[in-house]
Amino acid sequence: MAKIDFGGVWEEVVTAEEFPLEKAREVLKNETVAVVGYGVQGPGQALNMKDNGIRVIVGQREGGASWEKALADGFVPGETLFSPEEAARRGTVIQYLLSDAGQKTMWPAIKACLNEGDALYFSHGFSIVYKERTGVIPPPNVDVILVAPKGSGRTVRTNFLAGSGINSSYAIFQDYTGRALERTIALGVAIGSGYLFPTTFANEVYSDLTGERGVLMGALAGIMEAQYNLLRKHGHSPSEAFNETVEELTQSLIRLVADNGMDWMYGNCSTTAQRGALDWKGRFRDAVVPVFDELYARVLSGEETQIVLDANSAPDYRQRLDKELAEMRESEMWRAGAAVRSLRPENRKK
């Protein structure tokens, strides 16, 4: 492992220098990785491992959209594509990548398919940490491990194809074989992680649930809506309001942050922007602290977990989700966004 200074705090991380792909292939040469669930994370991880020379099979219910996607991606029924139970029986590493609610529902069937010495792999600590609510309690004779890419399943794949990777956290919950750590790191390398950093199942799920509801998705969308609506209220056009709220952020400023950090982005903007941002960032930070405190407390208590399980288990969940997303898509702000995106030079050439 490499010791890296993260702002004055030293952490150990795993990079390709310490654990190259060739070593991962050696560790996994006798393993069959069964990817159970081919929805969000499944395709990216399965295809990256396949491209990296790992023996991969997929477990998915026949007939649905995810089964059809697996077929289109080159998995063959009866050879590399099976039912979830059959894949779990055949695999020595079972990547349990169903939705959190799906993991709860299918757990009794999958548990019955585990063999002594298998590795039960998660990309989210949810089912294990909230076991009282999910019922996911692994048997004592398997390794229980985690590799959690810090990005969407789609990005796991696109970054891999672009020659980069998504950073991932990793954790060991149960080490039955004595090989759990090397299996975990090898799998993290095989799915194309940029680098790997250690965590625990609990820390992974607490940070993940907070991040998704906070800066990564919930807070971002909410703040965008608030600014867009304010500008529209004061007479700014939809195009102007959207460009000043979303387009400039996603197409320009966030890329500067990604390249060299927030201070570098500030340093490469106008002096008017610099001064205003520095003066106001503290006020925004202080304003949302109570909201984040409440959010984290609800994550720790399991309240957010129960909401997810109840909502995702409802028979009309997909219809209600589609309705909520349609309302967002059909709002003036995001209809303006569709128009703005259509005017980008790369889209006008199509």
Question: What is the per-residue DSSP string for 288-320?
Answer: HHHHHHHHHHHHHHTHHHHHHHHHHHSTTHHHH
Q: 211-348: what fold?
A: N-(1-d-carboxylethyl)-l-norvaline Dehydrogenase; domain 2 (1.10.1040)
Residue positions annotated with a catalytic role? 124
If residue 221 lies in a helix (H) or strand (E), which one and from where to where? Answer: helix 218-233
- Report pLDDT digits (tens) over 155-200: 999 999 998 888 999 999 999 999 999 999 999 999 999 899 999 9
Domain ranges of the chain: 2-199, 211-348
Output the pLDDT for position 54: 97
For 115, counting Cβ atoms within 10 Å of its Cβ (0-12 exposed, 13-18 middle, 19+ buried), the class is middle
Output the pLDDT for position 350: 59
Output the pLDDT for position 348: 79
pTM over 0.75: yes
Region 231-254 average pLDDT: 95
For 272, counting Cβ atoms within 10 Å of its Cβ (0-12 exposed, 13-18 middle, 19+ buried), the class is exposed
Structural domain 2-199, CATH architecture: 3-Layer(aba) Sandwich (3.40)
Residues of the chain with pLDDT > 90: what percent?
A: 87
pLDDT band at 2 (very low <50, low <70, confident <90, very high): confident
CA gap 287, 222 in Å, rounded: 14
- Report pLDDT digits (tens) over 252-299: 999 999 889 999 999 999 999 999 999 999 999 999 999 999 999 999
Task: Identify the CA nearest to 215 among candidates 262, 175, 159.
Answer: 262
Least confident piece of the model among 1-10, 83-92, 244-253, 332-341? 1-10
Instruction: Return the DSSP state at 99.
Output: -
